[in-house]
Structure 1
Amino acid sequence: MDSDSDFYGDEETVSKLEARVADFDPTQVHSIKQESSSLIIPNILLKRSSSPSPSPSKQPRLHNRFADKPGCWRVNHETLDEFLLRLPPSTTQPVGSNADSWIWAANPYLSPGSSPSPDLPSFREGGRARLALLSAFNTHCKSTPGKPRLAIRRELDRARDDAVGDLRALAVRCNVVAGKWMLFVDSSSAEVDSVWEAVARATANNELGIGAKVEPCSLAVIKERLVVVYTRDFRDIDDIGRVLEKLRELGLVRFNSGKQIYYKSDAWTELGIYGNNEWGIKASMYSSDEMFQYIRSKR
């Protein structure tokens, strides 16, 4: 990544986390210093300029990081039209149970090695330990006799917010900072294929984020299919907003339409943090309506 935001923590924060995990005693009530807020739109954010699309006249060298992969990727020397024709999501069957079962499109303007690889094993280990710490504290707090319910609620909220700050700091330390807008579209062949074509073309033209993927056809009857549009860094709110604005221009999302889309960090996905989780952590970082409001407030 280009830079790290002190808003989400530093190496000292991670060291504190490691010490907490090693020395944790569930009989103690932790005094928690809130390092990060779970508010959807923070008032203070590291703002970085979004990289402009390369000028066509400069003819930049394009890269296909999926060139050597078979299956649900755009292979080398394959045009975008050939790729879309070969792998329409309405009929393409999954090829496995892992990430290769999705249909992927990469941004060819991003050179290989342009950012360090995420350290997923370290993040998963540290993140799960931090969530276990939060679970143990919550259990102890709820079982303390004679404590007023409101006081318990405040301690639980404070502990959750502190855990969110620690997990975000750990994600930055391990470079697990990508995130994604998630679009659920009708599974009918016309809609899922047209939405995917629009997303894939915009990705190939460097108009969206670092990549995109779409859920393939399933033998099970499902009403909606997931299309994912990735951005480089969940801390870069300007870039996240830029991608959302492009999705609006493509007609894939509207402001105050009654049907929102949501932005989620890969870090939360890696830790299995989904809606209605046991820790009370919000699964998504932003909704489209809230992000649109933030964008309009800056104009």
Structure 2
Amino acid sequence: MRLYDLRKFRQWWLWALTVKRYIDLNLYQTAPDMTHKRAVSDDSSFYGDINTIEYLNQRVDSFDPDEWMMQHHEQPGWAQPRILPTPTASDLHNPYAGVSYAWQLTESVDDFLARLPPATTAQTNEIPWIYICNPYIARVAKPDSLNQKSKGNEDEGPEQEGSKLDVVIEGGMERLELLGNFLQEVPKFGKPPSTTESEKNKERAQATLNILHLAHVGKVRAGKWMLFCDVLEVNGVWDIVAKATASNELGIASKVAPRPEQGDLRKERLICVYTKDFMDKVDVGRVVQRLKELGLADNKSRRIYYKPGISGGNTWGLKASIYNSSEAFPSGQDVAMAL
């Protein structure tokens, strides 16, 4: 097959796959019935119906800015910290409720850290990792998650409601099969090695984007910052990460590797800090900035990497990480100013 033909086939395949996935994910919605007649003009509907307009006018007339500022202790021109209500137990969430190797809402974080210190807790089938959640963010309970039925994904971060993991895996594997065929065929076209490698890299990058986009549409969006630390430091580092996770300073959850039963006991331990959405660069950047402030990452000697779930050393040569801590990430203020 010629390179041109292979590319045309790829374009057709991607279109067909996208349509199929979007149908599977129920993204096509019936268009609303627009045949009814409007009771008011298009201009008036912009502001709402008559009742809405009257209600808003009443609110404007009754609003006292001086009283409002006194109630909120505001000073004009100064940003004020948000005062959040103290959550009750019913407001908190734990996707790891009942999981023995995870933090429970019925225990303090200090008690949890004392119960499962990663430096000495043995890694077994019953304790594959040690987890802690962010109790302020709701996620699917671990036993009910689709990833519990997917080999190799059982120990990943808490799942988002409405996730279509099975569809994403199926579509992702089909896309990887196409990539594999392309990588095998390109060397047969008789192009210079540099051109061949360039074509391979372009296709790898395109396949990565396709798979990540499919994952995002299918609500498989969690990614993780990965920290490696010396076994002598792991308890102290995990103490910092666990407390910051539980107090809503980092992402949706974190986990740490226990002491391995076999192999080098001095090997560095892995800590993963999960974020809610690998495409949300503001949130991803916010989390790594907090890790830097906590002294757990920097731009040079303690550079860390962010993975959306692609394994390193894979057959297709795809990069495992998509961000690192030396990158510049947009802030929420940057995004607001750009609007």
TM-score, normalising length: structure 1 = 0.72
Partner of residue 188, structure 2: 143
1:279 paired with 2:309, answer no
- For residues 114-193 of structure 1, the aligned pairs below 5 Å read 115-144=160-189, 146-188=190-232, 191-193=233-235
Identity across the alignment (%): 40
Change (3 A) 1:252 1:166: same
In 1, the alpha carbon distance for the partners of 2:161 and 2:243 equals: 26
In 1, the alpha carbon distance for the partners of 2:82 and 2:118 equals: 29
- For residues 249-260 of structure 1, the aligned pairs below 5 Å read 249-256=293-300, 258-260=301-303
1:169 Cα shift?
1.7
1:117 Cα shift?
4.0
Contact 2:160–2:220, Cα closer than 8 Å, also in 1? no
Return 5+ residue gaps in structure 1 as ranges. Answer: 1-11, 21-52
Contact 1:14–1:170, Cα closer than 8 Å, also in 2? no
Contact 2:139–2:161, Cα closer than 8 Å, also in 1? no
The code of the aligned residue for 2:112 comes to F
1:162 Cα shift?
1.9
Partner of residue 106, structure 1: 133
1:255 Cα shift?
2.6
1:86 paired with 2:94, answer no
2:326 is paired with a residue whose SS is helix
Partner of residue 38, structure 1: none
The code of the aligned residue for 1:218 comes to P
> Which region of structure 1 is more displaced relative to structure 2, 282-291 or 84-93?
282-291
1:206 paired with 2:251, answer no
In 2, the alpha carbon distance for the partners of 1:93 and 1:120 equals: 30
Which digits, 9 at most, give the CA deviation of each residue in 1:89-140, with x for residues without a partner? 011112317xx51000000111345942432222222212211111111101
- For residues 222-261 of structure 1, the aligned pairs below 5 Å read 222-256=266-300, 258-261=301-304
1:184 Cα shift?
0.2
TM-score, normalising length: structure 2 = 0.64
In 2, the alpha carbon distance for the partners of 1:159 and 1:66 equals: 39
1:166 Cα shift?
1.2
In 2, the alpha carbon distance for the partners of 1:202 and 1:284 equals: 23
> Which region of structure 1 is more displaced relative to structure 2, 226-235 or 149-158?
149-158
The code of the aligned residue for 1:126 comes to G
2:297 is paired with a residue whose SS is coil
Contact 2:222–2:276, Cα closer than 8 Å, also in 1? yes
In 2, the alpha carbon distance for the partners of 1:234 and 1:202 equals: 20
In 2, the alpha carbon distance for the partners of 1:204 and 1:252 equals: 17
In 2, the alpha carbon distance for the partners of 1:185 and 1:54 equals: 34
The code of the aligned residue for 1:62 comes to L
Provide the alpha-carbon RMSD of the alignment: 2.8
In 1, the alpha carbon distance for the partners of 2:315 and 2:133 equals: 34
Which digits, 9 at most, give the CA deviation of each residue in 1:194-239, with x for residues without a partner? 1001000000100000000000111332420000000000000011
The code of the aligned residue for 1:230 comes to Y
Partner of residue 305, structure 2: 262
Change (3 A) 1:62 1:199: same
1:75 Cα shift?
2.6
Return 5+ residue gaps in structure 2 as ranges. Answer: 1-11, 21-80, 141-158
1:202 is paired with a residue whose SS is helix
Partner of residue 67, structure 1: 97
1:64 Cα shift?
2.2
Change (3 A) 1:150 1:111: closer
The code of the aligned residue for 1:124 comes to I
